Chain A
Amino acid sequence: MSGRTCHTGAPAAVTSGDRPSLVLAGNPNVGKSVVFGLLTGTYVEVSNFPGTTVEITRGRHGDYDVLDTPGVYGVGSFNEEEAVARDVILTADVIVNVVDAVHLQRDLFLTLQLADLGLPMVVALNMVDEARSQGVGVDRDLLEDLLGVPVVEMVAVDGSGLDTLVGRLGEARRGHADLLIEEESLETALPGGCRPDALLVLEGDATIAARHGVAAGSRRDEIYARRRARVDDLVGHVVTDTDDGLSLGARISRIMLEPLTGFPLLAALLAATYVVLGQWIAGGVVGVTEETIMLGYWEPFVRESVSGVLQQGSALYTFLAGEFGVLTMTPTYLLGVILPLVVGFYLLMALLEDSGYLPRIAALADRGLTALGLNGRAIIPLILGLGCVTMGTLTTRILGSKRERFIATALMAVAVPCSAQIAVIAALMARVGGGYAAAYFGLLIAVFVALGTVLNRVVPGVSTSLLIDLPPLRIPRLKNVVRKTTTKAWGFMREVALFFLAGTALISALDISGALAWIQRVAAPLTVSWLHLPAEAATAFVMGFVRRDFGAAGFFTMDLSAPQLLVAMVTITLFVPCAASMMVVLKERGWKYLLGLLGGSVGLAFLVGGLLTRVLEVLS
């Protein structure tokens, strides 16, 4: 009956040999990651496997291999995120189930399911301070008795309770399971199988059933209903709620969701974002970092130093200090142009995530996204896509159907520029009037809506409806926001730097071999005749295959008129997604999808670009 012997087909990536695994499991937003940080100390390895809300984070605590899982409300296969958490949970030697003391009614469902699955665990009763201040009392001793596993009170953000948790890890054991789940029915559901898998099969988990080659059971409703009743009963015994008014957070939440106040508030937030990211950072900060520091001091300094050693025009000089030189354009681009906006963006994301506003945006956006075949939940990958399309694409795993993942992935790959690209485009657009920047974003939004509307008509299947938990609003903790921002921005910048170097090498190779000139000639009908851009624009599109922001950067040194610049920026944005996100699309959606996406995005980019060229020429 051990949970260790029989999970067939679970990804090997999650188990790592000899060390016992300690898995953190819990609902979203209960502080699992904070507990993870406490247990593992400074060593945090963010594995790239699934995206932000769907990633497995690993670390070490003593002899334990510690794994953090995506937040889930139960163990099952209702979306891909859940499937990821499920596989890790099933491989656990010890589970630390983190629960939010304020929301036991919701959180204990997972706890009791873990007990029913027969997995050894300790419950970390987190946020007891918040519960107390909200008038919620939890009888820890009684909860421990009724669950049959150690329950440790914690205030993870302050580190309190950690010692007790660590001290009691050895006491981890199986909790009191539902007595009406008979051994015989488990045996019938999965002959010879272990309890966790057998129970999941009995609960109708199609994935687990398929792994064992048996039919999925049909007792989910009955088992779930009884589990819910047990939770309600437990909560009735251990929780005392003495509060008779709504907390401040709940009142603000209501203002955020009331139609008359919620939409204006969201609009105000978007406007503030535009001012901070678009004007202060992309304008003000980048003006200093790019123009003054990098172009004003750094590049002349490098050129002078390098030309003292190497002859200007030699291959090595071009490589180091030329147009796309690794000592000139590379640092200017990475540090001067992109870094400020990427940091700004991830800071905003961290604030949105930590405050709990993101799910409320999902509720507000639900109506609009329904018209595109999505539901409000899709706002989460789409917003993450504005940071990094690769990350956004991975996060489509939280969507409820294949159809929604199909549509959201396509929308992001085609019409959502990532933060690096926005930075480059903002820097370029600063050369022309603000009207062109507005036209750029207006056109992208139009393409986004049009594409979504069309996909909603043609993609087969049925989209799911929104059903989202609105977590309590909290004031983000500075330490956490800073840590999150630096981790994400660092990871992103590393990727950008890598691809930038690879791209530079590619362009240099093409240039030196003469292939670039050939491509420029061959592409001339498209670039020169159709888009009315200089022939060198082909170089930028080749760079666009590496990264779209890199492609946009290819226009930096070209002398373009304002309308040409707009055409170039719109076309390169709609053009293929970056190489990294293509790889993720391939992995997540398959090669047919990727080929369709590439064909579609290239076709759409040149179609829209060419039409725009003509409209602009008629207008001028």
Chain B
Amino acid sequence: MSGRRDQGQGRGHERGHGHGAFARRGGRFARGRDAGSAGTLLSLQPGDECVIGSIADDCARAQAVRFGIGNGALVSCVTKLPGGPVVLRAGRQEIAVGRGLASRIEVSAPGAQTAGQV
């Protein structure tokens, strides 16, 4: 488990380097059950980076922009609690996103950020 943490440590600060973290998914993080929800926050594994896309919830969308995890923001996944929230990191900010909301937030691989990037 300390290995997991070590893997995570460097990542929060890789933002800006443009690594395609989607591709770096380690074997032990790849879980088959998330395969169907690819493209939302739920598809992220700890250590992955992504760019936030559309958020299908008015209130959450506004709050996400305030937190700095709105449309176009580059975030990394810190951890996922089983059946529970996805924890994101954007800069020095950590935010827990409940599962229901996470399934309504689209993400794309970094580097592919185009529309909505501000």
Whether chain B is bound by chain A comes out as: yes
Tell me the A residues contacting B by CB distance below 8 Å. 73-74, 76, 78, 102-103, 105-106, 109-110, 134, 136, 220-221, 224-229, 231-232, 241, 243-246, 250-251, 253-255, 257-262, 359, 362-364, 366-367, 370, 375-376, 400, 464-470, 472
The smallest C-beta distance from A615 to any residue of chain B, in angstroms, reads 33
Say yes or no: B93 contacts A467, CB within 8 Å.
no
Among B1, B4, B59, B92, chain A packs the most CB atoms within 10 A around the CB of B92
Say yes or no: B67 contacts A73, CB within 8 Å.
yes
A134 partner residues in chain B, CB cutoff 8 A: 92
A228 to B64, CA, bound (A): 10
For residue B13, CB closer than 8 A to chain A, the reply is yes
Say yes or no: B68 contacts A228, CB within 8 Å.
yes
Interface string of B82-99 (1 = CB under 8 A from A): 111101001111111111
SS class, residues of chain A in contact with chain B: helix
Say yes or no: B62 contacts A359, CB within 8 Å.
no
Number of A-B contacts defined by CB within 8 Å: 154
For residue B78, CB closer than 8 A to chain A, the reply is yes
A246 partner residues in chain B, CB cutoff 8 A: 9, 12-13
Q: Which of B81, B91, B94 contacts A259 (CB 8 A)?
A: B81
Say yes or no: A260 contacts B1, CB within 8 Å.
yes
Say yes or no: B79 contacts A257, CB within 8 Å.
yes
Say yes or no: B91 contacts A225, CB within 8 Å.
no
SS class, residues of chain B in contact with chain A: mixed
A261 to B8, CA, bound (A): 14
Say yes or no: A470 contacts B62, CB within 8 Å.
no
* Residues 46-67 of B contacting A (Cβ, < 8 Å): 57, 59-67
Say yes or no: A467 contacts B68, CB within 8 Å.
no
Nearest CB to that of A113 among chain B residues?
A: B66
Query: Assuming the A-B contacts A243-B13, A400-B59, are A254 and B8 also in contact, with contact meaning beta carbons closer than 8 angstroms in the complex?
Result: yes
Say yes or no: A224 contacts B101, CB within 8 Å.
no
Say yes or no: B65 contacts A228, CB within 8 Å.
yes
Say yes or no: B84 contacts A465, CB within 8 Å.
no
Tell me the B residues contacting A by CB distance below 8 Å. 1, 4-5, 8-10, 12-13, 57, 59-68, 70-71, 78-85, 87, 90-102, 118
B80 partner residues in chain A, CB cutoff 8 A: 259
Among B4, B79, B80, B98, chain A packs the most CB atoms within 10 A around the CB of B98
B82 partner residues in chain A, CB cutoff 8 A: 259, 367
Say yes or no: A467 contacts B118, CB within 8 Å.
no
A102 to B94, CA, bound (A): 13
A254 partner residues in chain B, CB cutoff 8 A: 5, 8-9, 78-79
Selected A-B contacts with CB under 8 Å, 28 pairs = A73-B67, A74-B66, A78-B59, A102-B92, A103-B93, A106-B68, A109-B68, A221-B61, A224-B62, A227-B65, A231-B68, A241-B92, A244-B13, A245-B10, A245-B13, A255-B5, A258-B5, A260-B4, A364-B84, A366-B99, A375-B98, A465-B98, A466-B97, A467-B63, A467-B67, A468-B96, A469-B95, A470-B94
Say yes or no: A73 contacts B5, CB within 8 Å.
no
Say yes or no: A226 contacts B63, CB within 8 Å.
no
The smallest C-beta distance from A333 to any residue of chain B, in angstroms, reads 41
